[in-house]
Each structure stands twice: as structure tokens, then as C-alpha cells.
Amino acid sequence: MSYGSIIKVPFGPQHPALKEPGNFLFEVDGEIVVDVKPRIGYNHRGVEKAFELRTYIQNIYLAERICGICSDAHTTCYTQAIEELLGVEAPPRARYIRVIIAELERIHSHALWVGIAAHEIGFDTLFMYVWRDRETVLDMFEMISGNRIHYAMNTIGGVRRDIHADMVSKIKKGLDLLEKRLKYYLNVVQTEQTILKRAVGVGILKPKDAVDLCAVGPTLRASGIKNDVRVDDPYAAYDEIAFNVITHDGCDVLSRILVRCEEMLESIKIIRYGLDSMPEGIIRVQVPMKVPQGEVVSRVEAPRGELIHYAKSNGTTKPERYKVRSPTLGNIPALCKMLLGGYVADIPIVLAGIDPCFACMDRMAFVDVKKNKEWVWTMQQLRRKYAKK
């Protein structure tokens, strides 16, 4: 449906489809998108500069707070980079615990995404059901680490908390429930006609474009390309665990949903294997405060795709330069490609299709003085400030 005139439609920074601030300026001809201009940086907190100003220990907590959903992926990436610089290796049990936490996080992140995708196409019932079952994973996190989102499990030289035998049986029980539910949702997604109508053939990303535009993670795998850091560049204990890399070659939103759903089932298998074959032993080793000069590239398969950190140390207690590239930034060019030529009504689901995480994406360089102050304010000061207004 073309009306012959081009209207510019802004999408964000505040928009119900985007739970985080990002801006996309669409040029729309009738209901067809003809041009997209992304503008990011609304969540820019200066994390990279902040890394240079803090000690290695403090930076663990900073890395944890780059993102709220894949907090474990960032700390895994950070700690293994620093461990490599130090020349130490995490004990085997710690490496297994890292895998278990990472896979639990993948389930929780993908379940969150499936819910959001359902909400974007107006299927709120599925959204509510998936999120209800996601609680199972969050409860497991609470049991293991005491926290539902920021688990703070990783530290340089290992992990901070152990998974005890009584936890193992509880986790397994939860996994059985999850597996049943996930299989049901997989079936719903594949058979429900209104979902298929909105997802099949929408947001096409051809394999060649996906490679050229350097897409990562499930977005890339949904275009039929087998690429997974866990297999290609194994870290933690992934080299000892066998699992399948899920790919689908539909290149559309449905493939992205299926890839994520099946990855969750695969994650359950990995966790079960990990729980069974976790070696006994210590969970962390002591490491020195000072890190010798060097540089390292560290990669992790975060739920959204390849996460890469680059660290350069200068022999002191603080890093010289720390670079973070989160998967969402890598997927933005591919996203723009998917949106071109699509319908306005499909923008939310295509946008959600890459599972954007703007907090991860806008991490870099300047420090917002306002936010920094608010951090150290006491509750009373805050109350005073807002009472005046």
C-alpha cells in the first residue's frame, strides 16, 4: 500500500516497542519502509573509560553491570581475559559451574525474548505464559547465588559460590518442568496460524548479507550459518561437552524464534550433563592484584551472540585499555537490512528479532556526571531533592 509520499516516522527513544532507549528514523512510503537510520547512545554510560579508572577487582562488578540480562556473559569474558593475562587457569569445577550458569542465563534470556516477541505481535497470552515459566530459572539463580539477575558468580581465578548436591536435585527438577513447557511452546510457535502469519517471510536476512554485515549469534544462525563461539572457540568447559549448534535456514523471524527455542532445549541438555559430570575440587584460586603487561582478546557466546572483549594491561592494578563489543552492536547493520522493504506493522517484531539490548550496546566512553552523583546520594538527599519539585 503506497500513498506516493514519503513520511519520516521516528521510532524511539521512547516507544512501547523498545523497552530501552534507541532511536530509528524510518522513511516510510505508505506502509513500506524505504530507509532506516539508527541513532544509538542514549544509554551511554562511559563504561570503557570507567574500566581504565578502576582496579581489576572493581572491574568485575562493573562488567557485571554492563547489561542486566547477560551479566554473566560479560563477567565470564572479563575474568577469562584477565586470567589469561595473569597466566592462571580457573579450576575444573569452576569451569563447569561457569558453563551451568551461562546456560541457565541463556535459557532465561531466550525465554524473556520469546515473551517479548509474542508481545510485539500482540500475542500477550503467550508472553504471560513464557514469563511465568521463566521464573523457574530465576528461582534457580536465587537459590545458587542469592540474586535473580546479577548473580556475581565469576571472579578472577574461578567462581565465588559452589553448586551443592541438594541444589543439583532441585535444579534438575526445575529443568524437567522447563523442558516440558518449552516443548509445548515450540509446538505452539510452529502451529499457531496467527504467529506464522506474522513471522514467516518477515525480516528476511539472506546468508550472504548476514556474513557481509557481520551478524552474530542466533540472528546469524537463523540465516543458516553454523557459527557458535562455544564450538568454534571453546572456553570454560565447553570443549568437554558435546552439543548441537542449532541452525535454521528460513532467514526470517520464525527461524529466529525456532533457533532460540531449540537452543533453550539444547541448553537444558548441557546443564544436565554439566551437573552430572562436574569434577570435585576447589572453585577458585588466589590471584595477585597486579597484572603483568600484555594484551588479550577474549570471546564468549552470550545469549545474543558473539561477545568480544579486548584487554590491554600495563603492569599496574588498573587496565590500560578495555574494549567491549556486545552482540547487539554487531547486529545493527544486519537489522537495518532486514527492515528495508518491510511493512511498518512488522517493524516491532523485526526489531525485536535480533533481541536488541541497548544497555550493552551503548557502553562506551563518557561519564554522565548526573548519574554518578545520584549513585552516592543517600536516600534522604534524594527525598529532599524530589520533595522540592
Partner 1 sequence: MGLDYAAVEKEVCKKMTAETIVSMIRILVFPGALFLFTLAFFYEWVDRKFFARLQNRYGPLHTGPHGILQPIADFFKLLSKEDITPHASDKLVFILAPIFYFALPLTTLFVIPILSQTSLISFEGDLIFVIFAFTLIIITVFLAGWSSINRFSTIGSMRAAVQMLGYEIPMGLVMVGPAIAAGSLSISRIVEWQSLNFWLILLQPLGFAVFTVCLLAELQFVPFDIPEAETEIVAGWRTEFSGRKLALLRLGRDLELVLASALITSLYLGGSQQFWLIPPIVIFLVKTTFAVMLLSLLRAVFARFRIDQMLSGMWKYLLPLAALQIILIQLGLGG
Partner 2 sequence: MEKENEIVEKLKDFLKEKLVRATVPKKRRIFIYIKKDALKDAMKYLVKDLKFKHLSTITGVDLGGEIEVIYHLAHEGSIVLSIRLTVSEKNPSIPTITDLIPGAVLYEREVHDLLGVNFEGHPDLSPLVLPEEWPQGVYPLRKEHELEHLREITSKKSKREERN
Task: Output the smallest distance, CB 158 to partner 2, in A.
Answer: 20
Stretch that binds partner 2, among 5-13, 41-49, 197-205, 348-356 (CB under 8 A): 41-49
Contact call for residue 54 and partner 2 (CB under 8 A)? no
> Closer to partner 2 at the Cβ: 30 or 294?
294
Long-range contacts from 231-235, C-beta under 8 angstroms, 24+ separation: 233/299, 235/76, 235/80, 235/298, 235/299, 235/300
Under DSSP, is residue 382 helix (H, G, I), strand (E, B) or coil? helix
Contact call for residue 53 and partner 2 (CB under 8 A)? yes
228 to 247, contacts with partner 2 by CB under 8 A?
Answer: 228-229, 232-233
Cell numbers found for residue 55: 582496579
Residue ranges in contact with partner 1 by CB under 8 A: 1, 7, 9-10, 15-17, 31, 118-126, 128-129, 132, 192, 194-195, 197-198, 343-348
312 to 341, contacts with partner 2 by CB under 8 A?
Answer: 312, 320-321, 323, 325, 329-330, 332-334
What's the Cα-to-Cα distance from 233 to each of 24, 94, 270, 297, rounded to whole Å?
34, 19, 17, 12
The secondary element (H helix, E strand) that includes residue 355 is none
CB atoms within 10 A of CB 167: 15
Residue 46 site contact among partner 2, partner 1, none (CB < 5 to 8 Å, cut-off depends on kind): partner 2
Find the angle CA(306)-CA(308)-CA(314) to the nearest 5 degrees. Answer: 170
Query: In the stretch 272-311, what mask flags binding to partner 2 with x, by CB under 8 A?
Result: -----------------------xxx-x------x-x-x-
The closest of 295, 380, 276, 366 to 48, measured between CA atoms, is: 366
Distance of CA 89 to the CA centre of its chain: 25
Query: In the stretch 86-105, what mask flags binding to partner 2 with x, by CB under 8 A?
Result: --------------------
CB atoms within 10 A of CB 388: 6
* Near partner 2 by CB under 8 A: residue from 213, 264, 270, 357: 213
How many residues belong to the chain?
389
Q: Which residues bind partner 2 (CB under 8 A)?
A: 38-41, 44, 46, 48-49, 53, 84, 211-215, 227-229, 232-233, 295-297, 299, 306, 308, 310, 312, 320-321, 323, 325, 329-330, 332-334, 362, 364-370, 372
